[in-house]
Amino acid sequence: MQVKQVADNLGISEHTIRYYDKVGLFPFVQRNKNGYRDFSEEDLYWIEFIKCMRQTHMPISTLKEIAELYHQGSDTKTKRKNIFLDHQKNLIEQKKIIDQGLQTLEKNLNCWRMNR
């Protein structure tokens, strides 16, 4: 499957797919005899995984590390799990900060409403 087909199937822009390839997130994607990327079903699962993780704001550098560990084999499962746990911890901390900011904003809006 070529870039356009992948983009259409997964709802990701062709530009994004090419960028991810350029930064090294697809070291395993084969190329056909004309030099075009030829994505397999397994590649599509990986791209869908990247899409989901990017929605959690996981950095590309972290995704690249996960890809490298994955291709080193099952001995890296613990390292990969720890990366996910660290990311989860970071997201929980960010959520706390955002929640505090929302509370402060709500207090300010309430004061503004009362002082009309």
The pLDDT profile of the chain, 116 residues, written as one tens digit per residue, is 999 999 999 999 999 999 999 998 988 888 999 988 999 999 999 999 999 999 999 999 999 999 999 989 999 999 999 999 999 999 999 999 999 999 999 999 988 888 76
> Does residue 38 contact residue 30 with C-beta atoms inside 8 Å?
yes
The torsion angles phi and psi of 37, rounded to 5 degrees, stand at -65, 140
Q: What is the pLDDT of residue 49?
A: 95
Cα(27)–Cα(48) distance, integer angstroms? 16
Compute the CA torsion angle 11, 42, 77, 22 (nearest 10 deg): -60
Q: What is the pLDDT of residue 89?
A: 98
Domain ranges of the chain: 3-114
Q: What's the CATH number for 3-114? A: 1.10.1660.10
Q: What is the pLDDT of residue 116?
A: 67
> Does residue 37 contact residue 3 with C-beta atoms inside 8 Å?
yes
Place of tokens 């395993």: 28
Cα(76)–Cα(72) distance, integer angstroms? 7
